[in-house]
Amino acid sequence: MSRDSLFPTYSPPNIRFAAGEGSWLTDIQGRRYLDFIAGISVNTLGHAHPALVAALHDQAQKLWHLSNMFDVPGQSKLAQRYCDLTFADRVFFTNSGAESIECALKSARRYHAANGDPDRVNVIGFEGAFHGRTYATINAAGNPKYLEGFGPPLPGYVQAPFGDIEALKALVGPDTAAILIEPVQGEGGLRAAPVDYLEGLRKLCNEHGVLLIYDEVQCGAGRTGQLFAHQWSDKAAPDIMAVAKGVGGGFPLGMCLATEAVARHMTPGTHGTTYGGNALAVAVGAAILDHITEKGFLDNVSVRSAQLRGGLESLRSQYPDLIVEIRGKGLLTGFKVSGIANTDFRDALRESGLLVGIAGDNVIRLAPPLNVKPEEIDEALAKLASSLAGFTSKTGRLASASS
């Protein structure tokens, strides 16, 4: 079917999917694909999970949408559950990650204004970051590729080198409102911030009265083996956190979580959303959280993560000229390739029946459903090995002697 009626913002491959189940997608010709990108870290429980289907079906028969002019069934309960599981005292529901970041940025500036410092507006982000496609979020990330053609950059946003605490300290000043970071960068090449670095950020923010904002849109919702990636430490809690993607499992749902000190200044009229946290979304979100918090679920994510990473390390030892670095954390992982464009390798894997993503710095991104089966990881690794062998043959580059 022609895409002429759509904005030309995407150029998808010539595949039309008809159905999905678990970690698998089926196209209109009946061919099955192993899905190791999961809607870009969205399909937490894979495709058509029975519990999510049931939650959506049950709620759809009762009430779809009210707007936030009224009390939305399930909203307060889901918000309280997330508050009980995190640093947060309050939640603002959204539809997407970009909206969650927008709320976080506004909340940070509002906090300082309400506390008598309205000129404290600057936000320090990090090179390689991605926070969404709205005007504010592309400025927060500062990637020239996404800023081109949209007029002058917004004031109040600067970027520090990722992982360099001394360079960051040099940027912090009396006009700094917040530091915004992804604990694991997605688009930036699957770079995971070490735990001690996040702890250092928390300490730095405390020393200067700066708010710490985490963008856990992609690395949250259990993807690293903790409910949220920063929770690998109990000394790195943020003041504000933006989440989306996996918390909705495929249904549009996001959240901005914040402490009482921050959230209490977002009074009526300061922010809003028409669809955010509608009855359908919170019903699915509650079902997702039920599964993520089920005993043993996150432990199993860590086990499957170790299986996948171990397999990737083995492939790296066999093909050291092609795989130069394993990156990421948990089931948001991947590897940097050399001598191959990551787009070419992604396309070859798709031809073999394995769906993966790409990221910056020539990285292949793997983000399967969190309930991926061990045999599915084995199959993905086998397809990766076959494609690596094929590229070795084409390029004439040698695998290691142990292969």
In a domain, residue 133? The reply is yes
Amino acid at position 158, single letter: V
Residue 256 has pLDDT above 70, yes or no: yes
43 and 81 belong to one structural domain: no
Looking at the structure of the chain, the number of domains it has is 2
Residue 299 has pLDDT above 80, yes or no: yes
In a domain, residue 233? The reply is yes
In a domain, residue 27? The reply is yes
How large is the average pLDDT for residues 187-199? 96
Tokens representing 285 are 């979100």
Mean confidence (pLDDT) of the chain: 96
181 and 76 belong to one structural domain: yes
Long-range Cβ contact pairs of 309-315 (< 8 A, separation 24 or more)? 309/333, 311/377, 311/378, 311/381, 311/384, 312/381, 312/384, 315/381, 315/384, 315/385, 315/388
Distance of alpha carbon 109 from the chain centroid: 24
338 and 357 belong to one structural domain: yes
The last residue of one of the domains, among 292, 308, 325, is 292
3-state per-residue secondary structure call for 93-123: EECCHHHHHHHHHHHHHHHHHHCCCCCCCEE
266 and 388 belong to one structural domain: no
For position 126, which CATH number holds?
3.40.640.10
In a domain, residue 352? The reply is yes
For position 28, which CATH number holds?
3.90.1150.10
In a domain, residue 400? The reply is no
DSSP state of 72: P
In a domain, residue 403? The reply is no
225 neighbors 330 (Cβ within 8 angstroms)? yes
Which residues, in sequence order, are bridge partners of residue 241?
A: 214, 257
pLDDT digits (tens, 9 = 90+) for 216-241: 999 999 999 999 999 999 999 999 99
- What is residue 395's predicted lDDT score, i.e. its pLDDT? 58
In a domain, residue 54? The reply is no
Q: Are strands 363-366 and 357-359 parallel, antiparallel or unpaired?
A: antiparallel
259 and 362 belong to one structural domain: no
- What is residue 400's predicted lDDT score, i.e. its pLDDT? 46
234 and 370 belong to one structural domain: no
Quickly tell me which residue has 């990737």 as its tokens. Answer: 312
Cα–Cα distance between 399 and 393 in angstroms, integer? 9
Percentage of the chain exceeding pLDDT 70: 97
The last residue of one of the domains, among 292, 323, 356, is 292
73 and 168 belong to one structural domain: yes
In a domain, residue 12? The reply is no
33 and 140 belong to one structural domain: no
pLDDT digits (tens, 9 = 90+) for 136-169: 999 999 999 999 999 999 999 999 999 999 999 9
Domain containing 101: what range? 63-292
Cα–Cα distance between 188 and 201 in angstroms, integer? 19
The last residue of one of the domains, among 265, 292, 319, is 292
